[in-house]
Structure 1
Amino acid sequence: MAQVVDVSVTAGNGHQWGVDCRQFGVRVLRGIGQVTFVSRALTGVLFACALFTGGWGSGVYGVGGAALGTGLARVLGVERERLAQGLEGFNSCLVGVGCAALLGPARVSTVLVALLACAVVTVATAAAGRVLGACGLPALTSPFCAVVTMVALIRPHGSGAGYTAGAPGLGGLGRGFLAGFGQIFLLPHWYAGAFVLAGLAVAGLRVAGVACLGNAVGMAVAWGLGAAVHDGTGGYNAVLVSVALCGVFLPFGGRTLAYALVGAVAATALAPVFGTTVFTWPFVVTTLVFLGAARSFPALSRPTPATGSPNGSPRLALSHDQPRGRREEAGRVVA
Structure 2
Amino acid sequence: MTSTTPAETPSPTRQLKPLDLLVAVVRGIGQVDFMASPWTGLIFLVALFVGGWRFGVYGLLGSAVATLTAYALGVARGSRIAPGLEGFSGTLIGVAFALYFGASWMTTLLVVLGCIAGGVVTSALVTLLKPFNLPTFTAPFCIITTAMLLAAPAFERVRHGRIGPMLPSAATGRTALTWNDVWQGMFNGIGQIFFQNKWYVGLVFLVGLVVGNRVAAVAAVVSSLVGLLVAWVLGAPAADIGAGLYGYNAVLTGMALAGIFVVLTPAGGAYALIGAIMATGLTAALTTFFTPFGGHTLTWPFVLASWTFLAAVPQFALLRRAG
Superposed CA offset, 1:298-333 (max 9, x none): 2111xxxxxxxxxxxxxxxxxxxxxxxxxxx634xx
The aligned counterpart of 1:286 is: 305
Secondary structure of the 2:242 match is coil
**Separation in 1, partners of 2:100, 2:24:** 27
1:163 aligns with 2:168: yes
Superposed CA offset, 1:176-214 (max 9, x none): 111111101011111111111111111232221111111
The aligned counterpart of 1:193 is: 202
**Separation in 2, partners of 1:138, 1:150:** 21
The aligned counterpart of 1:267 is: 279
Deviation at residue 160 of structure 1 after TM alignment:
6.1
1:135 aligns with 2:132: yes
1:330 aligns with 2:322: yes
Question: Quick one: which of 144, 147, 150 aligns to 1:147?
Answer: 144
Secondary structure of the 2:132 match is coil
> Does the aligned pair in 2 maintain the 1:33–1:44 contact within 8 Å?
yes
Secondary structure of the 2:115 match is helix
**Separation in 2, partners of 1:33, 1:160:** 23
> Does the aligned pair in 1 maintain the 2:99–2:165 contact within 8 Å?
no
Deviation at residue 159 of structure 1 after TM alignment:
4.1
Deviation at residue 124 of structure 1 after TM alignment:
0.5
Question: Quick one: which of 232, 236, 245 aligns to 2:248?
Answer: 236
Question: Quick one: which of 72, 77, 88 aligns to 2:74?
Answer: 77
**Separation in 1, partners of 2:119, 2:81:** 12
Alpha-carbon distance change, 192 to 274 in structure 1, aligned in 2, over 3 angstroms: same
The aligned counterpart of 1:202 is: 211
The aligned counterpart of 1:126 is: 123
Deviation at residue 175 of structure 1 after TM alignment:
1.2
The aligned counterpart of 1:305 is: none
The TM-score with structure 1 as length reference comes to 0.82
The code of the aligned residue for 1:233 comes to L
**Separation in 1, partners of 2:131, 2:100:** 33
> Does the aligned pair in 2 maintain the 1:72–1:119 contact within 8 Å?
yes
Secondary structure of the 1:139 match is coil
Give the aligned CA root-mean-square deviation in angstroms.
Answer: 1.7
Secondary structure of the 2:241 match is coil
- Larger helix proportion, structure 1 or 2? 2
Deviation at residue 226 of structure 1 after TM alignment:
2.5
Question: Quick one: which of 13, 18, 21 aligns to 2:18?
Answer: 21
**Separation in 1, partners of 2:232, 2:307:** 25
- State, as a whole percentage, how many aligned pairs show the same letter: 41
> Does the aligned pair in 2 maintain the 1:152–1:158 contact within 8 Å?
no
Number of equivalences = 286
Question: Quick one: which of 231, 244, 250 aligns to 2:262?
Answer: 250
**Separation in 1, partners of 2:201, 2:165:** 21
Alpha-carbon distance change, 172 to 226 in structure 1, aligned in 2, over 3 angstroms: same
1:36 aligns with 2:55: no
Unaligned runs of 5+ in 2: 1-14, 153-158
**Separation in 1, partners of 2:165, 2:38:** 34
Deviation at residue 161 of structure 1 after TM alignment:
4.6
Superposed CA offset, 1:204-248 (max 9, x none): 322211111111101111222332211111111111101111111
Superposed CA offset, 1:150-184 (max 9, x none): 12222235846531355442123211111111101
**Separation in 2, partners of 1:246, 1:54:** 28
The code of the aligned residue for 1:88 comes to E
Deviation at residue 84 of structure 1 after TM alignment:
1.0
Question: Quick one: which of 88, 91, 94 aligns to 1:93?
Answer: 91
Deviation at residue 133 of structure 1 after TM alignment:
1.4
Question: Quick one: which of 217, 221, 226 aligns to 1:217?
Answer: 226
Question: Quick one: which of 154, 160, 174 aligns to 2:183?
Answer: 174
Unaligned runs of 5+ in 1: 1-16, 302-328
**Separation in 1, partners of 2:191, 2:147:** 23
